[in-house]
Structure 1
Amino acid sequence: MNRPSLLSLDDALPQLLAQAHTLPETQWVSTFDADGRVLAQDVVAGLQVPPHDNSSMDGYALRALDCVQAGAVLRVTQRIPAGTHGTQLNSGEAARIFTGAPIPPGADAVVMQEDCEVLEGGQIKVNMAVPTAQWIRRSGEDVTRGATVLSRGTRLTPAELGLAASIGLAQLQVSVRPRVALFSTGDELVMPGDVAPEAMPAGAIYNSNRFFLRAMLKRLGCEVSDLGIVPDKREATIAVLRDAAMHHDLILTSGGVSVGEEDHIKPAVQSLGELSLWQLSIKPGKPFAYGKVNREGGVCHFMGLPGNPVSSFVTFLLLVRPFLLAMQGVTQTEVKRTQMTAHFDWPRADKRREFLRVKRNAAGGLDVFPNQSSGVLTSAVWGDGVVDNPSGQTIARGDSVRFISFEEWLA
C-alpha cells in the first residue's frame, strides 16, 4: 500500500483558513478591557486630534515677526494653562503658555522658556530668532475628523486603546471570544500533583501539553473549557466529543491522531461528523487532523495535534493560531519572518520543512539548540524563536536564515 504524500504547510494552511469563517456574534466592551480583542467594525473619528492648534512646549506664544532677531523684548499680557483659552494677542505681546494649551488668536509661534529671560515689569527678552510655527502642534495632525483610525479585523494593543480613547470612545465593538474545548488522550498521562515524581508508574508521563496549550489559547483571547484527560476508549472519546460540540466553536486535542490501535480520535470524530488526517511535511509536527463534529443547527470544528510536546507546540503556532485569529476576524494572521545570520552549521538537509529552535546571541546571530527532538520541550524554553528552514536545505555558519520570534508568535 502506498503511503499518502506529505502535504506542504503552504498548501495546508490555506485549506484550513478557508474553513475559518468569522464568528457572527459581536459584543461591546469597555475600551479599558479591550486589550487583545478584535475590532468588529471600523473606528471612525468624530473630531480632530488635537482639536485645536496647541503648544508642544512650556514657554511663550508670540508673533514670529516680533522676533526676527535675537534680543526682542515683549510684554507678557496673559497666562494660558492647558484646558483654558487665551485672548487676542497683539504685536509686541507674548502669552505665557503651557504644553497642550491652545494657541491664542494672533500668535503664530512658541518659544521655549529656556530661550527667554524674564525681565522686570512683566516683560521677557527672547534670546533667539523665532521661525513661524515653531513648537506648534496643528489641529488634526494626529487624527482628522472622519478618518478611519482603526480598521475592522485589528487585534487591539494598548496603543490602539489609547488612540480609541483619544477620539472619545469608552466602548468598542469586538468579535466574541472563540469557545474552545481542550482535552488530552492517553492512559499514560498523569496530571502534575496527582502523583509524586518518585511514585510515577512505569510508562507514565506528566501531561505537559495541556498546560501550554491552555495558556496559548487564552493568549489568543479564547474562552477555554478544560475537559482533562480522556481514557483511551472509543465510547468515552465519542461521548466527550458529542458533549463538547454542543457549546463550543472548536475542539482541540493532543495525542491520539495517529493510526495505532489505541488512537480512537479518528473513528470517534468520523462517527459524529467528518475528519481529514493530514500528514504534513514539517518537522516537528507531521501528524495533524482537522474535521467537524455535527451538532444541532451546525457544526463544531475539530483539530487534533500530535502528542509529542514540541510537535504539539509548533503545530499549534503554525495552524491553530491563525485559524483562531481568523475566526475572530483578524485579517493578518501571518507572523513576520526576519532575516538573521546563522552562527551554527546544519549540514543534514531534511525532506520536510524544519522549524529549528534557536536563540539570539550577543553577537547578533542565532545559536541552535543541540537536541531538536520533538520530545525535548527544553528547546522551546531555551530558545526565543525558530528558524523556518525550507525542505532539502542545509545551513552553514554565516548563512542568512528566516527567524520567527516566540515573542511575536505568542503575543
Structure 2
Amino acid sequence: MSAETIPLDWAKARALVFEAGRSAAGPAEAVPLSGADGRTLAEPLVTLSDLPAFPTSSIDGWAVRGSGPWRPIGQVLAGNTAAPLTEDGTCVEIATGAMVPASADALIRIEASTRDAEGLVSGTARAEPEWRLPGDEARRGEQVLPAGTPIDPAVLGMAATCGYDTVPVRPQPRAALLVFGDELLTSGPPGNGRVRDSLSPLVPAWLRRSGATVDPAAVRGPVQDTLEAHIAAIRQGLAEADVVCTTGGTMHGPVDHLHPALAALGAEYIVNTVAVRPGFPMLLARVPGPDGRPRFLAGLPGNPQSAVIALVSLVAPLLAGLQGRELPTLAQVEVTAPVPGRGGFTHLALASLDAAGRATPASHVGSSMLRGLAAAHGFVVIQPDTRAQAGDVVLFLPLALLPGERP
C-alpha cells in the first residue's frame, strides 16, 4: 500500500472534510421566514428593537395609579397604544400583552379585584411587578443566536419576534447520486445472482435529512461498468450538484473505475481511505467547478451499511461545513454489552438507545445488511486498539434523522 492510500484516522478524516466544506460554503442569501425552515443562519441574529419593545402586561386585570379604590376610565387591549394615566385614583382595564400606560403604579389581576356598586375597583397588587419592561428579554442590537445556527420552528419564531421578514442563510448544497454496478436490480425481489439496489432510495433521503437538496433526476444508475460511462456520469453530476455521491467502485478491481475517472477529471483527494470498520474503503475528492467553486465527490462503498458509515463519516461533516454549521459534537453514552474493537481501525458499531440513553449493540450488522441499521439510532465509536465492556462510556454518532424519529 502506497503512502497516498494509508488509511487516515477516522476523527482526522472527519475534521478534514468539514474544513473542506467550510472553505467552500457559498455566500449568504436572504429568504423569507416561510422558506427558511431547515436552512442555516449565515449571520448572527440580532434584535431590531428592545424585547419587549414597550412595557407589556403579563395579566388580564387593571393598570392603576395612586391608591385605591380606583375609578375606571378606559380599556387597553393588545395592539393598541395606551394613553398615560394622568390622575391618581384612576385605572384602566388591561389585557395580557397590552401596552402598560405611562404613570401606572401597579397591575392588579382581574381575579384579585372587586368592584363596588359605584363601579370603583379595589384590589391588591402582587409584590412582583406584573409587566415586562422594555429589554427584559433582549436589548436592541443584542445577538440572540450565532451564525451557523440551524433554523427550526423555534428559530423562526425568534426571528419574527426580533422583527425580521427575511433572514440571511447559506445556500443549500445540491447533491446527486450515481449508483455504480450494472448487475443491480432496480425493482422487484432479488434473485438469480442479482441483488436489489437499496442505496438509490436510502442515500437521497439521508442527504435531504442532512440539509442537501436532491432532485429526483439527479439520482442515476446503475451506471454501466465502463470507464467512459463513469466519466460521463460523474461529469454530468458535477455540472448539476455541489456534492456527488457514488456507490461502489472504491476498490481497484477489474470493474472499479472510480479512481481512474477521478484522475481523468483532475480531482484532488481530500481523503482516500479511512481507518474505519465497516466502511472500508471510502473517499472524498475535490473537483474544479466551471464557476470557480469546487465540487465534491464522495465515494461510498457498495455494501449498504458501509455506505451509510461513509455518509455519516465524510458526507455529514462536509455538508455541515458547506452550510456554515459547526462540526457536530459526539455525545457520550454507556454501553450495556461488550463491543469488540477492530484492531488499528475505529469501529463504528450499530446500537439503539433506551429511555435512559444507554446504548445496546444491534444485531444483523454485517456490512451488506440493513436490518440492524433500520432498528438503530446510531453508532457507538470504539477507538482503535480498544474494546468496550458493559458499563463503559464511549462516544456516540447518531444517524441523520428528522426530529421526533425513532424516539
TM (normalized to structure 2)?
Answer: 0.88
Structure-1 residue corresponding to 2:199: 209
Amino acid at match of 2:103: G
Shift of 1:246: 2.7
Is contact 2:107–2:125 with CA below 8 Å preserved after alignment? no
Structure-2 residue corresponding to 1:15: 16
- Deviation larger for 109-118 or 310-319: 109-118
Q: Residues 334-349 of structure 1 correspond to what in structure 2 (within 5 A)?
A: 334-337=328-331, 339-346=332-339
Amino acid at match of 2:50: Q
Structure-1 residue corresponding to 2:120: 123
Structure-2 residue corresponding to 1:41: 43
**Residues 108/152 of structure 1: CA separation in 2 closer, same or farther (3 Å cut):** same
Give SS of 1:291's match: strand
Determine the C-alpha separation between the residues in 1 that align with 2:330 and 2:91: 51
Cα deviation, 1:39-75, whole Å, max 9, x if unaligned, reads 3333433222211011111122235x74xxxxx6443
**Residues 203/380 of structure 1: CA separation in 2 closer, same or farther (3 Å cut):** same
Is contact 2:55–2:132 with CA below 8 Å preserved after alignment? yes
Cα deviation, 1:261-290, whole Å, max 9, x if unaligned, reads 111111111111135362312222121122
Determine the C-alpha separation between the residues in 1 that align with 2:176 and 2:74: 65
Is contact 2:64–2:91 with CA below 8 Å preserved after alignment? yes
Structure-1 residue corresponding to 2:89: 92
Give SS of 1:370's match: coil
**Residues 243/404 of structure 1: CA separation in 2 closer, same or farther (3 Å cut):** closer
Structure 1 residue runs without a partner (length 5+)? 67-71
Is contact 1:59–1:111 with CA below 8 Å preserved after alignment? yes
Determine the C-alpha separation between the residues in 2 that align with 1:372 and 1:405: 16
What is the aligned counterpart of 1:313 among 308, 314, 335? 308
Structure-1 residue corresponding to 2:178: 183
- Deviation larger for 42-51 or 30-39: 42-51
Relative contact order (alpha carbons < 8 A, sep ≥ 6): 1 or 2 greater?
2
Structure-2 residue corresponding to 1:303: 298
Cα deviation, 1:75-111, whole Å, max 9, x if unaligned, reads 3333211112143154333332111111112224323
2:226 matches 1:233: yes
2:378 matches 1:385: yes
Determine the C-alpha separation between the residues in 2 that align with 1:349 and 1:17: 25
Structure-2 residue corresponding to 1:69: none
Amino acid at match of 1:177: Q
What is the aligned counterpart of 1:262 among 236, 255, 259? 255
Shift of 1:257: 0.6
Give SS of 1:281's match: strand
Q: Residues 3-402 of structure 1 correspond to what in structure 2 (within 5 A)?
A: 4-20=5-21, 21-62=23-64, 66=67, 73-84=69-80, 85-88=82-85, 90-126=87-123, 128=124, 130-131=126-127, 133-192=128-187, 196-197=188-189, 200-224=190-214, 225-276=218-269, 278-294=272-288, 296=290, 298=292, 299-330=294-325, 332-337=326-331, 339-346=332-339, 350-362=343-355, 364-402=357-395
**Residues 188/350 of structure 1: CA separation in 2 closer, same or farther (3 Å cut):** same
Determine the C-alpha separation between the residues in 2 that align with 1:46 and 1:357: 46
Determine the C-alpha separation between the residues in 1 that align with 2:358 and 2:288: 49
Amino acid at match of 2:263: Q
Determine the C-alpha separation between the residues in 2 that align with 1:375 and 1:368: 17
Shift of 1:188: 2.2
Determine the C-alpha separation between the residues in 2 that align with 1:78 and 1:103: 13
Determine the C-alpha separation between the residues in 2 that align with 1:24 and 1:347: 41
Cα deviation, 1:106-131, whole Å, max 9, x if unaligned, reads 224323222223433223332x5632
- Deviation larger for 171-180 or 15-24: 15-24
Amino acid at match of 2:18: L
Is contact 2:210–2:316 with CA below 8 Å preserved after alignment? yes
Give SS of 1:140's match: coil
Cα deviation, 1:229-280, whole Å, max 9, x if unaligned, reads 2111111001112222233322211111111111111111111113536231
Determine the C-alpha separation between the residues in 2 that align with 1:369 and 1:27: 42
Give SS of 2:88's match: coil
| Aligned-residue RMSD, C-alpha | 2.6
Is contact 1:62–1:89 with CA below 8 Å preserved after alignment? no
Is contact 2:45–2:145 with CA below 8 Å preserved after alignment? yes
Amino acid at match of 2:126: V
Is contact 1:354–1:391 with CA below 8 Å preserved after alignment? yes
User: Number of residue pairs matched?
Assistant: 396
Cα deviation, 1:5-59, whole Å, max 9, x if unaligned, reads 4311222123323322234444332111101112333343322221101111112
**Residues 118/335 of structure 1: CA separation in 2 closer, same or farther (3 Å cut):** farther
- Deviation larger for 159-168 or 242-251: 242-251
Determine the C-alpha separation between the residues in 2 that align with 1:256 and 1:105: 74
Determine the C-alpha separation between the residues in 1 that align with 2:184 and 2:28: 38
Is contact 1:78–1:86 with CA below 8 Å preserved after alignment? no
